[in-house]
Structure 1
């Protein structure tokens, strides 16, 4: 048999970057799933490897989305609520 194993991306780099720069808990979950991909491919569990790859990608994306949402909400809060008082326009 001359079957080649499919190339399934493990998304490990993206998982590590989102763990370092974004939401830590979701990034760690993403790293766990990304680490499972290569082992499942080596064991011949292609369906499990694809599922782990999809989960790693999903959690990495959610980690980035959560962080971007928090930054946007913080910016809205600071500029809309605290903006005038930060500029010295408040009346004591």
Structure 2
């Protein structure tokens, strides 16, 4: 699936493509899937698209951006929303 994302994002500038892949995986993949992908990156698995590998080279996965966007003030703090 990660390689399919690379195919989609290949038309974007490289840094934007890597960020898009990283954001999608952080948002929608389970922890187990993300850990397996990071293990492939660390082992330099040859079946992994270089764009995907570049998205995670030397990086760890952060918290899902979906959680940040949908969290209430008790989760993101009083200034975490533009709702007023």
TM-score normalized with structure 1 length: 0.27
* Structure that is richer in helix per residue: 1
